[in-house]
């Protein structure tokens, strides 16, 4: 244990501290992931699941949900997921619901740290990669859904095992990786697990080619890997298929393109809230800390030298290709040909690009402080250019919103007429959709107001990163002592942590996913009262 702390003590200390300060409400059981789908699905389902486990059985049929419901057939529960069984059987429900989230954050951070170290980062770089992945917008947007968090946790572990397999050629690493992937499929988010399998194939294929490993052997190994994972998933799949035939999600192309990634999302890397848009085709947050972009630029410049990091760039490219959805005609064509319309919210695919960016930033962090000062100067210059480009784009969008309002509203109405009103899964009136267009416009305008608190705070993020770079240009030279570089590394980590912590309070940040347990644990009389009041969309006999 002492040797482990000596080798990884920096990561253990900083990451554990980060978990506590970012997720304090969850750690101390005051709050939980109790918004959106979690409060309407994950929380009540897992509560029933926990009660059944403690009675010694799985909830194959639950008579108290609707007129009876096969809960184990609802794949998002993760009924056969080993960690669900462990936590919800051993612990009381509220500690189990919260601590399993904390445990997955710790696992995801640890696996990301180890994978980044494997690709050449030092302890500082590995720590940074874990921090910006877990506490940037990546998980604020996706990981809030407990099933997705469970699935995504295993992704860096599988890649780490692939690296060991390619290095040592031992099949046991592929077997362990297959067990991890099978666990991922059982986690409750088949969508994210399936996306992961696609990324695994591209990563392993390209990594084997770079290392000049026999491709046929690699593909056979991957086939075995996929087969083991599929066999593990089979019990859940058989139950889910019975439920699936009654689902409305066997839908259309429009359904599968819902939630495509707006290209404007890339501006959120610098301006997390002012560059956000919401609606049918929204921007996803991609904020990892402004200064992190500098270290990402460093790693991009390493691609010629460090071939082993190139598969991450391929994963990022695949991620963006699929996430763009409606904005990518080639992806639309692929969906039409395959007729694969099962998954919606394709923007979720961007997780894998942000994961790659986090790891690359960690590798770039390590190189930034060990390279020649002349190289640092070039990278800082590129960073300044990127910041300027994003600032110009935001400024241009503000002017466009102000001076092109009639055209924007008219175009929005035309879009509603052509693609939304009267289409499947869009049951509201035309007037209501028109009103939503106008509300989206007003929301965009207010978020980009130069005097808004979010814009001012975003500007503060940028200015602080620019000041750090200016100091580094002047004082971080080839002759610095190790102690001086230690101060510079510490300052960079602290600045990024402060950056991410401040974003926690932005709309769309981690805090938006948290709510007190008073929301979930209401008296039955309050719940019955709400059901009686709702005469519009829901009817529950005898209360409706």
CA distance 175 to 228: 8
* Per-residue pLDDT at 476: 81
* Per-residue pLDDT at 527: 58
* Band of residue 544 on the pLDDT scale cut at 50, 70, 90: very low
Indicate the range of 211-220, 247-256, 311-320, 513-522 predicted with least confidence: 247-256
* Band of residue 36 on the pLDDT scale cut at 50, 70, 90: confident
Per-residue pLDDT averaged across 123-144, rounded?
A: 86
Per-residue pLDDT averaged across 510-525, rounded?
A: 76
- Tell whether the model's pLDDT for residue 118 goes beyond 80: yes
Indicate the range of 42-56, 131-145, 228-242 predicted with least confidence: 131-145
* Per-residue pLDDT at 265: 78
CA distance 414 to 428: 16
* Per-residue pLDDT at 317: 96
56-115 pLDDT, tens per residue?
999 999 988 777 889 999 889 999 999 999 999 999 999 999 999 999 999 999 999 999
The pTM of the full predicted model, rounded to 2 decimals, is 0.89
* Band of residue 324 on the pLDDT scale cut at 50, 70, 90: confident
Dump the DSSP string for 296-312. Answer: HHHHHTTTTT-GGGHHH
Count the neighbouring beta carbons within 10 Å of the beta carbon of residue 181. 26
Closest CA relative to residue 177, chosen from 96, 258, 232: 232
CA distance 193 to 186: 9
Residue 424: left (phi > 0), alpha (psi -120 to 50), or beta? beta
CA angle 66–69–71, rounded 5-degree value:
130
Which tokens is 363 given? 């590798």
Measured in degrees and rounded to the nearest 5, phi and psi for residue 516 equal -70, 155
Percent of the chain beyond pLDDT 90?
A: 53
CA angle 335–285–115, rounded 5-degree value:
85
Closest CA relative to residue 11, chosen from 161, 135, 158, 131: 131
* Per-residue pLDDT at 143: 54
Indicate the range of 46-60, 247-261, 416-430 predicted with least confidence: 247-261
Mean pLDDT taken over the chain: 87
| E strand intervals along 21-60 | 31-33
Dump the DSSP string for 45-80. Answer: HHHHHHHHHHTTS--S-BTTSBTBB-GGGSGGG-TT
Identify the helix (H) or strand (E) that includes residue 516.
Answer: strand 514-516
Task: Quote the distance between the C-alpha of residue 332 and its chain's center.
Answer: 23
Per-residue pLDDT averaged across 418-429, rounded?
A: 73
* Per-residue pLDDT at 540: 46
Contact 231, 387 (CB under 8 A): no
- Tell whether the model's pLDDT for residue 378 goes beyond 90: yes
340-368 pLDDT, tens per residue?
777 777 788 889 999 999 999 999 999 99
* Per-residue pLDDT at 242: 86
- Tell whether the model's pLDDT for residue 243 goes beyond 90: no
Closest CA relative to residue 135, chosen from 309, 16, 34: 16
* Per-residue pLDDT at 447: 67
23-33 pLDDT, tens per residue?
999 999 999 99
CA count, 13 A, side-chain hemisphere, 415: 14
* Per-residue pLDDT at 383: 96
CA distance 269 to 392: 14
Indicate the range of 40-44, 159-163, 486-490, 526-530 predicted with least confidence: 526-530
47-62 pLDDT, tens per residue?
999 999 999 999 999 9
Which tokens is 460 given? 């503060």
Residue 206: left (phi > 0), alpha (psi -120 to 50), or beta? alpha
Report CA-CA distances (Å) from 40 to 15, 35, 520.
Answer: 31, 8, 9
- Tell whether the model's pLDDT for residue 283 goes beyond 60: no
Indicate the range of 91-105, 237-251, 353-367, 530-544 predicted with least confidence: 530-544
Per-residue pLDDT averaged across 259-288, rounded?
A: 69
Count the neighbouring beta carbons within 10 Å of the beta carbon of residue 7. 12
């Amino acid at each position: 244990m002492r040797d482990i702390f000596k080798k990884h003590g920096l990561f253990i200390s900083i990451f554990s501290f980060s978990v506590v300060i970012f997720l304090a409400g969850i750690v101390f059981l005051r709050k939980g992931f109790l918004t959106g789908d979690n409060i309407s699905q994950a929380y009540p389902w897992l509560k029933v699941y926990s009660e059944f486990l403690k009675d010694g059985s799985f909830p194959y049929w639950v008579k108290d949900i609707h007129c009876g419901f096969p809960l184990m057939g609802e794949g998002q529960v993760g009924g056969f997921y080993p960690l669900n069984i462990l936590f919800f059987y051993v612990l009381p429900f509220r500690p189990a619901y919260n601590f399993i989230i904390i445990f997955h954050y710790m696992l995801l951070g640890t696996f990301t740290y180890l994978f980044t170290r494997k690709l050449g980062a030092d302890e500082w770089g590995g720590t940074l990669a874990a921090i910006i992945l877990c506490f940037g917008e990546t998980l604020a947007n996706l990981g809030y859904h407990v099933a997705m968090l469970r699935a995504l946790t295993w992704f860096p572990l599988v890649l780490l095992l692939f690296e060991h397999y390619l290095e040592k050629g031992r099949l046991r690493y592929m077997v362990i990786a297959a067990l991890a992937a099978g666990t991922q499929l059982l986690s409750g988010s088949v969508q994210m697990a399936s996306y992961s399998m696609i990324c695994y194939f591209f990563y392993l294929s390209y990594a084997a080619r770079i290392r000049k490993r026999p491709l046929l052997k690699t593909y056979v190994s991957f086939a075995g890997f996929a087969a083991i994972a599929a066999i593990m998933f089979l019990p859940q799949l058989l139950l889910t298929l019975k439920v699936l035939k009654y689902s409305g999600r066997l839908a259309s192309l429009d359904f599968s393109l819902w939630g495509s990634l707006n290209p404007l999302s890339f501006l959120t890397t610098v301006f997390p809230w002012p560059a956000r848009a919401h609606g049918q085709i929204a921007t996803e947050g991609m904020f990892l800390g402004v200064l992190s972009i500098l270290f990402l630029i460093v790693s991009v410049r390493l691609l010629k030298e460090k071939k082993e990091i190139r598969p991450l760039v391929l994963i990022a490219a695949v991620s963006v290709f699929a996430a763009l959805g409606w904005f990518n005609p080639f992806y639309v064509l692929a969906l039409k040909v395959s007729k694969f319309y099962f998954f919606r919210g394709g923007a979720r695919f961007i997780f894998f690009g942000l994961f790659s960016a986090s790891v690359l930033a960690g590798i770039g962090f390590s190189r930034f402080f060990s390279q020649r000062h002349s190289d640092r100067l070039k990278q800082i210059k590129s960073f300044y250019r990127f910041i300027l480009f994003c600032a110009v784009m935001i400024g241009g969008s503000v002017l466009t919103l102000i001076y092109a309002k009639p055209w924007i509203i008219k175009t929005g109405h035309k879009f509603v007429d052509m693609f939304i009103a009267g289409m499947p899964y869009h049951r509201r009136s035309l007037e209501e959709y028109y009103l939503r267009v106008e509300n989206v416009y007003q929301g965009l305008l207010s978020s980009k107001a130069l005097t808004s608190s979010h814009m001012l705070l975003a500007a503060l993020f940028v200015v602080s990163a620019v000041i750090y770079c200016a100091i580094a240009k002047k004082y971080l030279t080839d002759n610095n002592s190790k102690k001086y570089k230690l101060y510079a590394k510490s300052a960079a980590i602290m600045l990024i942590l402060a950056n991410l912590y401040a974003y926690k309070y932005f709309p769309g940040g981690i805090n938006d996913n948290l709510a007190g347990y008073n929301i979930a644990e209401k008296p039955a009389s309050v719940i019955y009262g709400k059901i009686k009041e709702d005469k519009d969309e829901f009817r529950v006999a005898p209360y409706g």
